[in-house]
Amino acid sequence: MSFSPARFAECAEWIAAIGRELSAQGWTPATSSNFSMRLDDSHAAITISGRDKGRLNSSDVMAVDWRGRAVGMDAKPSAETLLHTQLYQRDPAIGAVLHTHSLVQTLSSKVLAPEGKIMLEGYELLKAFAGYTTHLCALELPVFANTQDMPTLVDQVERYLAVTPRCRGYLIEGHGIYSWGRDLAEAKRHLDAFEFLLTCELELRKLR
């Protein structure tokens, strides 16, 4: 174990706090959703599977290696752990990953993505995303088919990210969203922006 216990304890507290906050917003129904932070260049702290995110505390967080294996604790990580560790491995700048299941995210993945993507264009709030400095741009949010076969989904995401370096998140159909950032604050900002923009797109659809 190369990461420090102090670093793990700090990340566990932050993850628990953001989990409770997102649950209070109604974005983590039942025991859904998972959150993680980079510990070092080969480990992440991530929520333990099946925990109520509205009642998270630091004991509901564990460490895993990049292969999704538990480190230093006999607990089961989220079934989607590999989707987190994939991001940390491919981009050293990523420090936190958030996955939620809000109503808006789930509906958007079903009704706004007939071609497997949602184009977000012309919104001032696009500037909330790292690397986007004007509303005169477009952000593509891909939507991947849901599957319980994690290696297959990881492969699909990897192929997309390999050719779309400015991607800031993705949806899984009928499921929810993954968003990330350099740290937990940036990941949360991206998540908030996606939620607002997807809400706008759903409301516009009603007016057409």
Question: Which tokens hold the place of 185?
Answer: 């604050």
User: What whole-number distance in Å separates Cα of residue 150 and Cα of residue 169?
Assistant: 17
Nearest to 87 by CA among 16, 168, 33: 168
- Model confidence over 108-127: pLDDT tens digits? 999 998 789 999 999 999 99
Give the model's pLDDT for residue 3: 84
Task: CATH number of the domain at 79, please.
Answer: 3.40.225.10
- Residue 85: the pLDDT is 98
List residues bridging with 64 in a β-sheet.
44, 70
* Interval 58-97: pLDDT, tens: 999 999 999 999 998 889 888 899 999 999 999 999 999 9
Element (H, E) at 150: helix 150-163
Mean pLDDT of the chain: 95
What is the per-residue pLDDT for 1?
57
Average pLDDT, integer, range 42-70: 96
Mean pLDDT of 39-63: 96
pLDDT at 165: 83
Q: How confident is the model at residue 208 (pLDDT cuts 50, 70, 90)?
A: confident
Residues near 107 by beta carbon (within 8 Å), at least 6 away in sequence: 202
User: Can you give the pTM of this predicted structure?
Assistant: 0.95
Tens of pLDDT along 139-188? Answer: 999 999 999 999 999 999 999 999 998 899 999 999 999 999 999 999 99
Q: What was the pLDDT predicted at 2?
A: 75
**Domain assignment of residue 96, given as a range:** 5-207
What is the model's pLDDT at position 193? 98
What are residue 132's phi and psi, to 5 degrees? -110, 120
Per the structure, how many domains does the chain have?
1
R_g (Cα) of the chain, nearest Å = 16
* % of the chain exceeding 90 in pLDDT: 90
Q: Where are the beta strands (DSSP E) in 39-196?
A: 43-47, 61-65, 70-71, 96-100, 117-121, 138-144, 169-172, 176-181
Instruction: Say if CB 201 and CB 124 are below 8 A apart.
Output: no
Q: How many helices (H) and strands (E) does the chain have?
A: 5, 9
Rounded-to-5 percentages of helix, strand, coil across the chain: 40, 20, 35
- Average pLDDT of span 8-28: 98
- Phi, psi dihedrals of residue 7, rounded to the nearest 5°: -65, -45
Please tell me the predicted confidence (pLDDT) of residue 72: 87
